[in-house]
Amino acid sequence: MSKIDKIKEKINYLKFWIGICVASIISLGTWLSLNFGKFNNLYLIGVVLFFLLLCLIIFLDKKIRNLINELEEL
């Protein structure tokens, strides 16, 4: 497999995980909005997880952009 194909497969794999994270953020955000008045430890964990998933999406996006730039150089 050529280097270009490997980079394309890495990009596709990372896009898959971004999709999983986006779906998780949407469902977690819905749950958080429905349970807004019920503040407890589980709600706090949900808020922290929401922001961790958001950071993960940003990290994966930067990784994909770097791989795309690496593709341009080839």
User: Could you tell me the residue range of the domain that residue 29 belongs to?
Assistant: 3-73
Distance CA 8, CA 15 (A): 11
Structure tokens at 34: 């429905």
Q: What is the pTM of this model?
A: 0.84
Q: What pLDDT score was predicted for residue 10?
A: 94
Give the mean model confidence (pLDDT) for residues 59-71: 94
- Cβ(11)–Cβ(64) under 8 Å? yes
Distance CA 22, CA 50 (A): 10
The CA angle 27-31-34, to the nearest 5 degrees, is 140
Q: What pLDDT score was predicted for residue 68?
A: 94
21-61 tens-digit pLDDT: 999 999 999 999 998 888 788 888 999 999 999 999 999 99
Please state the domain count of the chain: 1
